[in-house]
Structure 1
Amino acid sequence: MKDESVFSEVTSLRADGPRAVLSTSALEVHVRVVDHLAHTTRSKFVTDEVLDTLVHGRVSTMAAIELSLAGWWRRIDGGYVVVDQELIDAMSRHPARRRIGRTCRRLWSFLNSESVIPL
C-alpha cells in the first residue's frame, strides 16, 4: 500500500471517535498490517516475523502494545490476532479479491451441479 493511501486511511481512522485515542504511529502500523492481511489467506493473524518486515521492530513493538491495550489486537503465541474486522472487511473489498470470490462461487456451483459425476 502506498504511503499516501496509508496516511489517508489513518486520517479517516483518527476522525472516528473511539479510534482517536491511539497514536498516529500505532494507527499506521494497524493500517499496514490490515492491508497485508487483506491480501493473504490468514485474514486475522499476523506473525511477529511478518510484523517486523512491515514496520521497524521498535516501532512495531510499541504499536503492538498500544493496539493490544486498546483491544484492537490480541496477543497469541507467535503473533497477534487483529480484532478490527470492520477495517479488514473494508480493505478486503479490492476488485481483484471480489473477482476471485465470484470465480470460486461459480466453480463450486458447477462442481455441485448434476453435470459433474462424483467419483
Structure 2
Amino acid sequence: MDDKSVFSEVEALRATRTRPVLSPAALEVHVRVVDHLAHSTRGAFIADDVLDTLAHGRVTTMAAIELSLAGWWRRLDGGYVIADQDLIDALAHGAVWRRVGSACRRMWRTLNSETVIPL
C-alpha cells in the first residue's frame, strides 16, 4: 500500500468517533500491519520480527503498547493478534478489486492497441 493510501486510511480511522483516540503514528503502524495481514495467509497474527520490518523498532514498540492498551491488539507469544477484523476484511477486498481493475485496464489497453484487428 502506498503512503497516500495509508494516510487516507489513517484519516478515516481518526474521523470515526466510536474508536478510541490514538496517536497518528500508532494508527499508521496499525494500517500498515493490517494491510500486510490482508495480503498474507497468516490471519490476524503479526510476528514481532515481521512487525519490525514494517516500521522502525522504537516506533512499532510504542505503537504496539498504545494499540494494546486501546484493545485493538492483543499480545501473544512472539507477536500480536489484531482485533480489527473489519479493517482487515476491507483492505483484503479492496486489494482484490484493485487487482481486477488493473487487469481490466491492461485488457482494455491491449484491445485498443494496434495489435488487435476488430471484427
Please state which band the TM-score falls in when normalised by the shorter chain.
0.7 to 0.9
Q: How does 1:13-32 map to 2 (within 5 A)?
A: 13-19=13-19, 21-32=21-32
**Residue-pair matches, total:** 99
Q: Do 2:20 and 2:70's aligned partners in 1 also have CA atoms closer than 8 Å?
A: no
Partner of 1:95: 96
Structure 2, unpaired ranges of 5+: 101-119
1:50 aligns with 50
| TM-score, length of structure 1 as denominator length | 0.78
Partners of 1:95 and 1:26 lie apart in 2 by: 26
> In the alignment, what sits opposite 1:9?
9
Whole-Å Cα distance in 1 between the matches of residues 9 and 20 of structure 2? 13
Q: Which runs of 5+ in 1 are unaligned?
A: 100-119
TM-score normalised per structure 2: 0.78
Shift of 1:18: 3.0
Aligned-pair CA distance for 1:66? 0.2
Report the CA distance between 1:19 and its aligned residue. Answer: 2.8
The residue aligned with 2:36 is 36
Identity, in percent, stands at: 71
Q: State how far apart, in whole Å, the 2-side matches of 1:96 and 1:14 are.
A: 24
User: What CA distance in whole angstroms lies between the structure 1 residues aligned with 2:55 and 2:46?
Assistant: 12
Please identify runs of 4+ aligned residues in structure 1 that moved more than 4 A.
Answer: 96-99
